[in-house]
């Protein structure tokens, strides 16, 4: 954290927005509503973990190699995906070897604590620059969900009291600029565009100027997904950085958010590696979590990419964004209370 401090109250992660709410601080009911949405999004993983995976070995069994093998088989049969199964089994084997779990009843309580720690130890809150504007660069491959996520972030930031300006720096396709323009009108925030095929850095430059002029808190920069070579990507990011520096916005970009399509599993991890080599990625936006039956992918992505998950996308609308809350996520994933119900039922 060091250099950065969170800007002001209300703090984003404590005040997740809700579409109908006029007030930035949600009440209990709204929090429950979002938890329900998240729970729905990952319900298949949850059901499967409880019912099929742990159901396969039963509770209260002394853990041994055979039980662990059974668990692994059950995970694979339940279509957890190789990465998630490998990851979870690695965690469990380690915990068993060093005596932290002894019976199958210890598994869920152990994972609940262990996974929360793994998901939170890098810090999930958006970092704000000490002096406005905070510049947030949004990167990722074509179709990952960048533009939608820029819009959702702007919506969320505005909702939580941060005056936001958008830079449509994906100038390769006119449609991308139009798409962001439409979003900005709905959100009611300013957008800076350039002519088609303009140098993205020139748009960033103009946007930085505008953000300073109107005293914006945040400048959100959408980028092109065509940066498939590392050199292009690095060049582009450098130019955008320089454009901000030329406007004396120190330390920009303060966040480089990589948008990953959560439905793509291992592919998302590969993309993350490429982007990490080209830029200092400071946070992940996991889009399309609603579209995946494998909510567990969040765990393996978090572990492999070693960059904190900061937001998740749960649909195509503006309000389908949630600051990543590891507690909620893990509770929803394991839904410990329903384990006995599921076992009774099945």
Site residues (CB under 6 A) for ligand GDP? Answer: 140, 142-148, 225, 287-288, 290-291, 313-316, 320
Q: How far is the CB of 268 from ligand GDP (least distance, A)?
A: 13
Residue 333 host element (H or E): helix 326-334
- DSSP 3-state assignment of 86? helix
Q: What tokens appear for 226 in the block?
A: 């065509």
Token pair, residue 81, equals 């995906």
Which CB sits closer to ligand GDP, 120 or 148?
148
The residue sitting closest to ligand GDP, measured at its beta carbon, is 313
Question: Where in 75-104 is the site for Mg ion (CB under 5 A)?
Answer: none
Q: CA–CA separation, 105 vs 63, rounded Å?
A: 9
Q: Which of Mg ion, ligand GDP, none lies near 290, with the C-beta cut-off 5 to 8 A by kind?
A: ligand GDP
Interactions with Mg ion, residue window 176-215 (CB under 5 A) = 176
CB neighbours of 310 closer than 8 A, spacing ≥ 6?
124, 125, 126, 255, 257, 283, 284, 285, 323, 324
Please return the burial class of 248, using the count of CB atoms within 10 Å of its CB with bins 0-12, 13-18 and 19+.
exposed
For ligand GDP, the closer of residues 112 and 173 by Cβ is 173
Going from the C-alpha of 299 to that of each of 66, 186, 233, 292, 337, the distances in angstroms are 25, 34, 27, 13, 21
Query: What is the distance between the terminal CA atoms of the chain, rounded to a whole angstrom?
Result: 47
Residue 34 or 191 with smaller CB distance to Mg ion: 191
For the CB of residue 325, give the shortest distance to ligand GDP in the complex, in Å: 16
Binding residues for Mg ion, rule CB under 5 A, total 3
Task: Give me the least distance between CB of 26 and ligand GDP, in Å please.
Answer: 20
220 touches which of ligand GDP, Mg ion, none (CB within 5 to 8 A by kind)? none
Instruction: Kindly list the distances between the CA atom of residue 194 and the CA atoms of 174, 189, 199, 227, 254, in Å, as whole numbers in the listed order.
Output: 10, 17, 8, 19, 23
CB of 152 to Mg ion, least distance (A): 13
Q: Which 102-161 residues touch Mg ion, going by CB under 5 A?
A: 146-147
| Least spacing, CB of residue 170 vs ligand GDP, in Å | 7
Location of structure tokens 């002029």: 213
53 binds Mg ion (CB under 5 A): no
Minimum Å gap between C-beta 176 and Mg ion is 4
Residues that bind Mg ion (CB under 5 A): 146-147, 176
């Amino acid at each position: 954290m060091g250099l950065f401090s969170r800007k002001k109250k209300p703090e984003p992660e404590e005040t997740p927005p809700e579409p109908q709410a006029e007030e930035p601080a949600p009440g209990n009911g709204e929090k429950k509503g979002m938890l329900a949405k998240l729970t729905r999004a990952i319900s298949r993983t949850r059901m499967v973990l409880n019912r099929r995976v742990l159901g396969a070995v039963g509770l209260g069994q002394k853990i041994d190699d055979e039980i662990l093998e059974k668990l692994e088989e059950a995970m694979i049969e339940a279509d957890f995906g190789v990465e998630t199964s490998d990851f979870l089994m690695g965690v469990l084997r380690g915990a068993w070897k060093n005596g932290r779990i002894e019976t199958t009843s210890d598994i869920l309580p152990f994972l609940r604590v262990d996974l929360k720690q793994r998901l939170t130890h890098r810090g999930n809150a958006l970092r704000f620059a000490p002096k406005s504007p905070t510049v947030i660069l949004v990167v990722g491959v074509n179709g990952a969900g960048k533009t939608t996520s820029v819009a959702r972030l702007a919506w969320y930031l505005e909702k939580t009291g941060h005056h936001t300006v958008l830079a449509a720096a994906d100038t390769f396709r006119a449609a991308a600029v139009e798409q962001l323009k439409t979003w900005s009108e709905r959100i009611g925030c300013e957008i800076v565009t350039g002519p088609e095929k303009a140098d993205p850095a020139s748009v960033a430059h103009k946007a930085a100027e505008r953000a300073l002029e109107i005293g914006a808190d945040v400048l959100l920069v959408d980028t092109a997904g065509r940066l498939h070579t590392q050199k292009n990507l690095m060049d582009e990011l450098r130019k955008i950085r320089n454009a901000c520096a030329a406007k004396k916005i120190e330390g920009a970009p303060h966040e480089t958010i990589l948008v990953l399509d959560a439905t793509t599993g291992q592919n998302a991890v590969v993309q993350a590696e490429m982007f990490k080599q080209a830029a200092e990625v400071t946070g992940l936006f996991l889009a399309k979590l609603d579209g995946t039956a494998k909510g567990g992918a969040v765990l393996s992505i978090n572990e492999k990419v070693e960059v904190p998950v900061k937001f998740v996308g749960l649909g195509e609308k503006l309000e389908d964004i949630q600051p990543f809350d590891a507690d909620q996520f893990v509770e929803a994933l394991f839904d410990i209370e329903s384990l006995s119900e599921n076992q009774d039922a099945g």
